[in-house]
Structure 1
Amino acid sequence: MAREWLTDVPVGTRVVVRYLIEGGERATDALGELTGRDEEHLVVDTRRAGPVRIALAGVVAAKPVPPAPPPRRRRP
């Protein structure tokens, strides 16, 4: 179900994607803007790691998320 949703969601949507890594034994998350996709992969531009290329076959779950909050002001 998450894979089908990711093939239809517009590029530019902020998403969180849980996907399998290391031979499918562990999962991790990518949070950021969906910046690209083809028939086998999608790209999520994250704040920490930059663009992350994810195989659609390894996607476990995905959903849209609200925009990131504005940066906090530093205290003087």
Structure 2
Amino acid sequence: MMAYFVFSIHTDDSENYCYNEGDAPIEQYSEAAALENEMRRGKVAGDNYFVELIRADTYEEAATRADAKRPHPKRS
């Protein structure tokens, strides 16, 4: 069953961040969308990330999808 994860996807080489509590999946779309909107409202001009809702079966799959959206590779 697909679940939802909300990530800040960084536009530089720093690490992405998952906003889900304990990196646990969110089952309800409405709850995930509310978290995504809350995190987007917290952004300020010049922040080095964008916030996106990602559908995936597991955290690992969501993290891989988030990494694929980065314009720059993350740090080693």
TM-score normalised by L of structure 2: 0.27
Structure with the larger RCO, 1 or 2 (CA within 8 Å, 6+ apart): 2
More helix by share: 2
TM-score normalised by L of structure 1: 0.27
More strand by share: 1
